Amino acid sequence: MTDFTLKKHPAFRGIDGALLLVILDGVGLYKGRAEGYEGNAVDIARTPNFDRLVERANHFIRLKAHGTAVGLPSDEDMGNSEVGHNALGAGRVFDQGAKLVSEAIESGRLFEGPAWKEIVAQAKGRGAALHFIGLLSDGNVHSHIHHLFALLRRAAQDGVGKIRVHPLADGRDVNPVTFHLYGEQLESVLAGLRAKGCDARVASGGGRMTTTMDRYNADWEMVRCGWRTHVLGEGRAFKSLAEAIQTLRAEKPGVIDQDLPAFVIADEQGKPVGPIVDGDAAVFFNFRGDRAIEISRAFAERDFKEFDRVRAPKILYAGMMEYDGDLHIPPRYLVEPPAISRTVSEYLAKNGVRQLAVAETQKYGHVTYFWNGNNSEKFDSATETWVEAPSDRISFDKKPAMKAREVCQVVLEALESGRQKFIRVNFANGDMVGHTGNLAAAVEAMETVDECLGRLDEAVRRLGATMIVTADHGNCDQMYEVDKKSGKTKLDAQGRPVVKTSHTLNPVPWVLVGKHADEFTVNTTIGTPGLGHVAATLLTLLGYEPPADYLPALVLPK
């Protein structure tokens, strides 16, 4: 049985008043107008209160909030609200993405989950097929070929009689001309399944930069091409994957895998062998989200309007993972979030510390469920209070203020009452408005949040409380796409900035202010501080010694 006893900190007795943690969802740190970038809503917005906090702060730290700092496979992976709040509340980094999928497959947990069972049951229907779509390589950035092979073999083992694979050529995360090698491995696996009585074949494919795997709404034509190819079975037909690769390369000397045109595999009568039809099931087996979101939307959204789907088959669709936890894309996914125990709030609850969690609907689950280690229940109803401000059901750029003021009021009343020792609050504006791609609305959102920060700061100073201001990942700090090579804003054919609606790879702020802030110094033993260091910091400020396996606190008593 876990011992949740917290020892008193040997060098600090704990703050006198309340400890307030303010999470500015989707607010990262990036260059602004002075550095030649015009798309940073955080920089453009008038934020006198945030600016003053940074200037007055005893400690200002840039926290890593993406990639390996939050358990993702590589530092090319953007953070998100789910893994961000997991790390903030857990005090440790748990595997996400590729590592999580591999473990779920090896342990068998993936195949015992409800999504897999539903997919298999659907695919075993009369005349139905199970389709697998995704990047075919071992690059381990977006997908891994061994994950696909495990799914294929288990599907056949579970009694699925018809399987169709729609592989996408890589050539970016692996050597540029290797699709034929991965194709040979795939065909070998499929041949083994056919030998055991399963009708398993390649059905369609294409290069990742021509077919299906667009991201950031940059080129929906790629997704439409994928839909036409995978779902409708329309396109240039070949007898086999090998023939398709050989022919397309011969016709376009020097072409690399990522740029291969889309293709369809047809039978002897010229009919496509694997269009996706009513009654089928489909799995997108990429684990990384950025290039999986758009095709998932096309499958999952009833009122999809990005392009004419012509035919939207009634199927069961699942992603390998939930690619966008903010928008819950897709609704069904195979790998559940990581099992996280001994979060900071569980420790506090078991030690009788009264806590309050506040957010509007869009982020309510993040300061409760995800913060508590994917636990939907309170650890102690007697000491924990959760308050939700119902979000409006409109596009958030239509009302950038969202429910920030209502959320702020709840926190102000709690600070005045003195009932809770630890309060955590999430302001959703930077992320949810940032996702709309509307720069002007994002600026307004930031200014609303700054107004709330000013009100909270005044209360903290007046009441002798302590406040930390941070974020879970970036978003509205980069509203225009940036070309990696030139570092300049990407422009479309008309010379307009290409809108960015996704999260960023930028660090987030961490600011400590309040009555006891000057009693601490930055912990210089931490090489690259990240979100996972916040939990130990909270315990230290509250006068407790953090658990030995927690990441070290960002600040230490002087």
| Sign for the pseudo-dihedral over CA of 70, 71, 73, 79 | negative
Beta-carbon contacts of residue 240 (< 8 Å; ≥ 6 apart): 187, 202, 265
Q: Which of 346, 454, 530 is nearest to 47 (CA)?
A: 454
Residue 334 lies in a domain: no
Residue 243 lies in a domain: yes
Give strand pairing partners of 220: none
Residues annotated as catalytic are 81
Run of H or E including 468: strand 466-470
Q: What is the rounded CA–CA span in Å between residue 435 and residue 536?
A: 31
Give strand pairing partners of 163: 130, 200
Residue 254: CB atoms within 10 Å: 7
**Residue 280 sits in the same domain as residue 160:** yes
**Residue 502 sits in the same domain as residue 411:** yes
What was the pLDDT predicted at 489? Answer: 94
**Residue 59 sits in the same domain as residue 187:** no
**Residue 267 sits in the same domain as residue 360:** no
Cα-flanking dihedrals φ and ψ of residue 539, to 5°? -65, -40
pLDDT of the chain, 558 residues: tens digit per residue: 889 999 999 999 999 999 999 999 999 999 999 999 999 999 999 999 999 998 877 789 999 999 999 998 889 888 989 899 999 999 999 988 888 999 999 999 999 999 999 999 999 999 999 999 999 999 988 999 999 999 999 999 999 999 999 999 999 888 889 999 999 999 999 999 999 999 999 999 999 999 999 987 889 999 999 999 999 999 999 999 999 999 999 999 989 999 999 999 999 999 999 999 999 999 999 998 889 999 999 999 999 999 999 999 999 999 999 988 768 899 999 998 777 899 999 999 999 999 999 999 999 999 999 999 988 889 999 999 999 999 998 889 999 999 999 999 999 999 999 999 999 999 999 999 998 999 999 999 999 999 999 999 999 999 999 999 999 999 999 999 998 888 899 998 899 999 998 899 999 999 999 999 999 999 999 999 999 999 999 999 999 999 999 999 999 999
CATH code where residue 166 lies: 3.40.1450.10
Q: In the chain, how many domains are there?
A: 2
Q: What is the rounded CA–CA span in Å between residue 170 and residue 496?
A: 29
Q: Which of 306, 224, 293, 291 is nearest to 258 (CA)?
A: 291
Strand, helix or coil for residue 262: coil
Q: What is the rounded CA–CA span in Å between residue 461 and residue 327?
A: 36
**Residue 429 sits in the same domain as residue 360:** yes
Q: What is the rounded CA–CA span in Å between residue 545 and residue 554?
A: 13
Say if residues 479 and 502 touch (Cβ distance below 8 Å): no
Q: What is the rounded CA–CA span in Å between residue 546 and residue 335?
A: 31
**Residue 266 sits in the same domain as residue 378:** no
Q: Which burial class, exposed, middle or buried, applies to 235 when counting CB atoms under 10 A from its CB (0-12, 13-18, 19+)?
A: buried
Q: What is the rounded CA–CA span in Å between residue 213 and residue 60?
A: 38
Residue 120: CB atoms within 10 Å: 19
Say if residues 513 and 460 touch (Cβ distance below 8 Å): yes
What was the pLDDT predicted at 55? Answer: 87
**Residue 108 sits in the same domain as residue 54:** no
**Residue 90 sits in the same domain as residue 105:** no
Q: What share of the chain is helix, strand, coil (3-state, %, to 5)?
A: 35, 20, 45
Strand, helix or coil for residue 187: helix
The residue among 289, 319, 349 that closes a domain is 319
Residue 3 lies in a domain: no
What was the pLDDT predicted at 326? Answer: 67
Say if residues 442 and 479 touch (Cβ distance below 8 Å): yes
Residue 14 lies in a domain: no
**Residue 347 sits in the same domain as residue 311:** no
Q: Which burial class, exposed, middle or buried, applies to 269 when counting CB atoms under 10 A from its CB (0-12, 13-18, 19+)?
A: exposed
For residue 303, the enclosing domain spans 98-319
Q: What is the rounded CA–CA span in Å between residue 349 and residue 343?
A: 10
What was the pLDDT predicted at 283? Answer: 98
Q: What is the rounded CA–CA span in Å between residue 452 and residue 402?
A: 12
The residue among 285, 319, 353 that closes a domain is 319
Amino acid 514 reads G
**Residue 366 sits in the same domain as residue 309:** no
**Residue 261 sits in the same domain as residue 295:** yes
Residue 11 lies in a domain: no
Q: What is the rounded CA–CA span in Å between residue 81 and residue 118?
A: 27
What was the pLDDT predicted at 96? Answer: 87
CATH code where residue 47 lies: 3.40.720.10
Q: Which of 327, 457, 455, 440 is nearest to 391 (CA)?
A: 327
Give strand pairing partners of 264: 204, 237
Residue 15 lies in a domain: no
What was the pLDDT predicted at 289? Answer: 86
**Residue 91 sits in the same domain as residue 102:** no
The residue among 319, 350, 379 that closes a domain is 319
Q: Which of 378, 284, 277, 360 is nearest to 324 (CA)?
A: 284
Residue 325 lies in a domain: no
| Sign for the pseudo-dihedral over CA of 234, 238, 242, 248 | negative
What was the pLDDT predicted at 487? Answer: 87
Residue 272 lies in a domain: yes
CA dihedral 374, 395, 310, 170 (to 10 degrees): -50
Per-position DSSP letters for 321-362, written without gaps between them: S-SBTTTTBSS-BSSPPP---S-HHHHHHHTT--EEEEEEHH
